[in-house]
Amino acid sequence: MASTSANSDETTRATGTATSGTTAKPDGGPSKLGRFRRRDKAGKADEAAATTSEESSTPQGKAKATTSAAAKAEKSGKAGKAGKAGKARKDRPVLSGAARLARVITVLGLIAAILAVVLVVQLVKGPGDAAARAAQEDRKEAARSQAEVAVARLFSFDYKTLDADFAAQLAQTTGPYTAEVEKVTGPAVRPVATKEHVIVQAVSVASAVVDDPGPDVQVIVFLNQAVTLDLLPAPRLDRNRVLASMRLVNGQWKVAGIKAL
């Protein structure tokens, strides 16, 4: 009976010793299963590294690595720009409510000052300044328009209607110039026009106000004259330009003098 118990105790100790040898060492060292797992992980890591090295050595692998590096660089650049923008916004001074109000008041003050200057200028010119300028322009235009009609009339005549033509010419003149026209048309033009059957038709083609010193308005007039007479086989075209002094007499613009240019 004692021998059986002793054999049982020895069997138990042997079994316990065998079991503890397969599971864990008495001093707390790693078990065989833990070492196997670590070896398995190390093997997989070596295989992954070998695969990565092999892929990077091929053109497709290099392209993939380049694309990955570019993507990382782009993300890094965007992050850097965002950081700089954020820093710039943080560094920008923030105006307080009082500062903003002071700025608005300053701008309004400048606008008020400009409006005040404009108002002073208008007061100095006077309310009738615009009306006076308009009246001056109307005066020039009236003188210019009548100069075209009067000058064309003064340089036109027909040997068949000399009396009526000379009377019409005198009606366009005023002052001493009337006597000058009468002196030339009667004694000088009438005999030649009657003898040579002279016909002169003048047309004003352009005109412009040169000066308005007052009381006369100086107007330049460009004329085309078609001349026919017995000595010419065909009508002749003469181009002339004259400076007419236009004077307002009893509400009508008259020619106070003519100067050939």
| Burial class for 195, CB neighbours closer than 10 Å (0-12, 13-18, 19+) | exposed
Instruction: Residue 241: name the closest of 215, 216, 218 by CA.
Output: 218
Domain boundaries of the chain, sorted by first residue: 131-260
The per-residue pLDDT for range 142-172, each reduced to its tens digit, is 999 999 999 999 999 999 999 999 999 999 9
Mean pLDDT of the chain: 76
What value does the mean pLDDT take over residues 36-61?
53
Does residue 194 have a pLDDT over 60? yes
Please state which of the ranges 26-40, 151-165, 167-181 shows the lowest mean pLDDT: 26-40
Split at pLDDT 50, 70, 90, the class of 65 is: low
- Report long-range pairs for 32-41 (Cβ below 8 Å, ≥24 apart): none
The pLDDT value given to residue 107 = 85
Q: Is the peptide bond before 215 cis (omega within 30 degrees of 0)?
A: yes
- Taking only Cα atoms into account, the Rg of the chain, rounded to an integer number of angstroms, comes to 59
Split at pLDDT 50, 70, 90, the class of 202 is: very high
Q: How far apart are CA 242 and CA 244, in angstroms?
A: 6
The pLDDT value given to residue 135 = 87
Q: Please name the fold of domain 131-260.
A: Nuclear Transport Factor 2; Chain: A, (3.10.450)
| CB of 155 closer than 8 Å to CB of 165 | no
What value does the mean pLDDT take over residues 114-143?
80
The per-residue pLDDT for range 78-89, each reduced to its tens digit, is 555 555 555 555
Alpha-carbon distances of 218 from 155, 182, 244, rounded to whole Å: 18, 22, 6
Q: How far apart are CA 245 and CA 117, in angstroms?
A: 41
Calculate what percentage of the chain has a pLDDT beyond 90: 43
Split at pLDDT 50, 70, 90, the class of 116 is: confident
pTM of the model: 0.52
